[in-house]
Amino acid sequence: MGIPKRRLVQVIAGVGMALGIIASASTPALANGPTAYASGGAGWAWYEEYGDYWHIRDTKADGHSAVVQWRISSGREGDDWDNNGADNGTTVINRNYPEEDTVQYRACWGEWGSQYIEISSCSAWVTTQA
């Protein structure tokens, strides 16, 4: 009659494990990447994991633009710029990367017109989840 006690314990344990898996899968560790700073206060950039947004700000009226150089683990590379002048807000650029990738980036200054990037101005590379 009824379910043997040992079997019932197994069923409850199984349900508990299944719920645990669901709970952990529904709370992914979305996070923003650290802010990277170009030398001399020229600008900064950071990465927003949810939606894949770059936030770039030129913070110095020096005739140069702020730029973030990025590369993702599946091979794409690129640059995104704040090229509309200094201290007038953050430029936000939306990209779309594979969610399982990692993304590396650094902030620098450069010349938007020629796409020249002053490498000596770049921050260290930082790494985050795409």
Interface residues with Ca ion (CB under 5 A) are 58, 60, 62, 64, 82, 84-86, 88
Tell me whether residue 71 or residue 86 sits nearer to Ca ion (CB atom): 86
Tell me whether residue 91 or residue 130 sits nearer to Ca ion (CB atom): 91
Pairing of strands 53-58, 91-94: antiparallel
Nearest-CA neighbor of 68 among 102, 99, 114, 37? 37
The nearest distance, CB 69 to Ca ion, in angstroms, is 16
The nearest distance, CB 60 to Ca ion, in angstroms, is 5
The nearest distance, CB 58 to Ca ion, in angstroms, is 4
Separation between Cα atoms, residue 11 and residue 20, nearest integer Å: 14
**Structural tokens at position 8:** 């019932």
**Structural tokens at position 98:** 């594979």
CA dist 4 → 9, 16, 121 (Å): 9, 19, 71
Please tell me whether residue 16 adopts helix, strand or coil conformation: helix
The nearest distance, CB 66 to Ca ion, in angstroms, is 6
Tell me whether residue 20 or residue 40 sits nearer to Ca ion (CB atom): 40
Tell me whether residue 86 or residue 126 sits nearer to Ca ion (CB atom): 86
